[in-house]
Amino acid sequence: MWKLALAAYVISFTADLFDGMAARAFNQTSKFGAVLDMVTDRCSTALLLSVLAIIYPKYFQIYLLLMALDISSHWMQMKAAGQMHHKSSSRNFVVSFYYDNYYFFGYCCVGAEFFYIFMYALRFCPEEWYKQYVYMIAFYVMLPGCAIKQFVNVCQLAAASTAIASGDAKDANEKKQ
């Protein structure tokens, strides 16, 4: 059963990549599609992190923190972006660099998701020789991308929060005048 769950998640993750490419290629992008894509990404990742929190109880709080950071940073970025696309609205250098460099962005996203996927596989895989390879790929190839993505999420959360608070302060100052 774990292999089926793993395959379904990988297929879903891969399809998500190609549906965005197809939407851009056929000029079928929309604000609704961008939001729907982000929401489904956040839900998928949250569900996987929830499963990891259950099967690795020692790291329960870390997985919950990663989930909260992922959801809150993206939600705040969407709110701060207003009518702009969330990937093009940040004034923060780190966040802008992350979204503007497609291959770097891709490595971090794939690194994070596949680190989580490999952690799931490591829990259930019975073959020791296979576990060694999965462990090496997870920790030496995917974990750096995952760690960078979490750093970007912190920067994104801070920058978006600052932008929203600045907007609130501006509105409050204008009301006083």
Report how far Cα 44 is from the mean position of its chain's Cα atoms.
10
| Terminal-residue alpha carbon distance, the chain | 64
Q: Which amino acid is it at 177? A: Q
Distance between CA atoms of residues 77 and 114, nearest Å: 23
Structure tokens belonging to residue 71:
């959801």
- Which residues, 6 or more positions from 58, have their beta carbon under 8 angstroms from its beta carbon? none
> DSSP letters of 97-132?
HHHH-HHHHHHHHHHHHHHHHHHHHHHH---HHHHH
Catalytic residues: 41
Distance between CA atoms of residues 118 and 25, nearest Å: 31
Are 119 and 125 contacting, i.e. CB atoms less than 8 angstroms apart? no
